[in-house]
Amino acid sequence: MTIRIAMWSGPRNISTAMLRSWGSRADSYVTDEPLYSHYLDQTEVDHPGRDEVIAHHERDWQKVVAWLTGPVPEGRAIWYQKHMAHHLLPQIDRSVAGWLSGLTHAFLIREPREMLTSLAKVTPNPKLADTGLPQQLELFEQVRERLGTVPPVVDSKDVLQDPRRALGRLCEVLSVPWDEAMLSWAPGRRATDGIWAKYWYDAVERSTAFEPYRERKEMPPEPLLPLLA
């Protein structure tokens, strides 16, 4: 039996560290932001390596979702898919009765003040859609209505404060056996990383485990306080 885990995250979270964690399991295959190329191709967002990402990765969302719902690569039992919720542009089918029905959904969140403060440093004048929160909420409510149960929501603070407990609970809810390998990993880049890793993943590439949680009391720039509210 196989399981395709779609972990929906917003930006400036621990999503890549989570990718490392699941990628450390011998029974798992991991995928890094498969809709990113489509997102860049269809928007005017000026991210580092934009043209390179579009050229290197599949930009047709329908081909991407056909792959994501097809055979699990390398015959693994688990396919962990790291998704950025804001990559779900309006033209992409977001009905959980469609291609999303083939995935098991989970949600990774971060305290909004900390997230927005960090996001403002790399995305000037972010809008609500840039946080991924509206998209996460839409999916969450659809999944809850379809299944009649609350899908798992993981707070990044909980993971950083006690990785074994938080990830163990997540595995339990997903009916996936716990694997101690999720708590550490070798440093460096992975073949499964997106080509954008050289621009964004410097800290993760140096890491070997989840960093301990550090409270950040900094506030977002004043113009973003209405968005924070």
pLDDT in tens, 6-57: 999 999 999 999 999 999 999 999 999 999 999 999 998 989 999 999 999 9
| Residues comprising the chain, all counted | 229
- Specify the DSSP element, H or E, that contains 182: none
Place of tokens 């707070």: 155
DSSP state of 22: H
One-letter amino acid at 100 equals L
For residue 97, what pLDDT band results from cuts at 50, 70 and 90?
Answer: confident
| Whole-number pLDDT of residue 124 | 82
> Mean of the pLDDT values across residues 147-167?
97
